[in-house]
Amino acid sequence: MFRILLKKEFLVELKSKEISASMLTFGIAVILIFAFSFNVPPDIMSTFAPGLFWVMTLFISTLGLHRMYAYEKEFDAFGFLISAPVDRGLIFLAKWVSGTLYLVITDLFILPPFLLFLQLQVSVSIGLAALVLIFGNLGLMVLGSLVSGLAMRAKMSEVLLPVLLFPLASPVMIAATKASAGLLKGEPFQSWQVWVFILGTFIISFGLVGFLVFDHITEE
């Protein structure tokens, strides 16, 4: 059942490409603004880079999350989805996993212009970089899928989503930024592994909570 739900998420996106297109364009626009606002030498920019990258990811995740639920809101497809005999925890898992995948793919597309426009030169271990990227995005999206479920049917949902998401996501932002900084500086994994553990704790805690409470969020 989980696979069917996941397939549905991807098929909808493949047909419209709304989420990926909006996240990608918005991401590049944000990089441009960063480049203009932080007109500093590359060595100083490299100290800001991890924070800027995750701020950008947080912004684009908000946009993606909004679109993710907007589809179903527009055609009341969500009503049909939750009336199907499906464990709602699985709906949450499908949204979380698909959202993380969109975000990781968008990040991968955005990384080259990010490095190019901000004139950054990096040489990092691909495996560790993938670990940080996936953990950071899993952390953002586990919370995002949960919070956007809350904000979706409220009035002013587009305002409510970031207002709720940003403070709740602060541990993810801190941990992902610190882990990326350790990675970029070439420090050994042992010196920044604590941040990966914090991200892991966050992902497991909110993954479990989301799975358990999503039923109450989607109840009609």
Closer to other proteins by CB, 32 or 187: give it.
187
Q: How far is the CB of 30 from other proteins (least distance, A)?
A: 22
Which parts of this chain interact with other proteins (CB under 8 A)? 143, 146-147, 150-151, 153-156, 159-160, 163-164, 166-168, 170-171, 174-175, 178, 194-195, 198, 201-202, 205-206, 209, 213, 216-217, 219
Minimum distance from residue 147 beta carbon to other proteins (Å) = 8
Number of Cβ atoms within 10 Å of the Cβ of 125: 11
Smallest separation, CB 170 to other proteins (Å): 5
Closest approach, Cβ 213 to other proteins, in A, equals 5
* Residue 66, token pair as written in the block: 């909004």
Kindly give, in sequence order, each residue whose CB lies less than 8 Å from that of residue 22, ignoring residues fewer than 6 positions away.
63, 64, 67
| Single-letter code of the amino acid located at 153 | R
Residue 75: Cβ-neighbour burial (10 angstroms; 0-12, 13-18, 19+)? exposed
Rank residues 104 and 169 by Cβ distance to other proteins and give the closer one. 169
Q: Is the Cβ of residue 14 or residue 76 nearer to other proteins in the bound state?
A: 76
The 10 Å Cβ neighbour count of residue 154 is 11
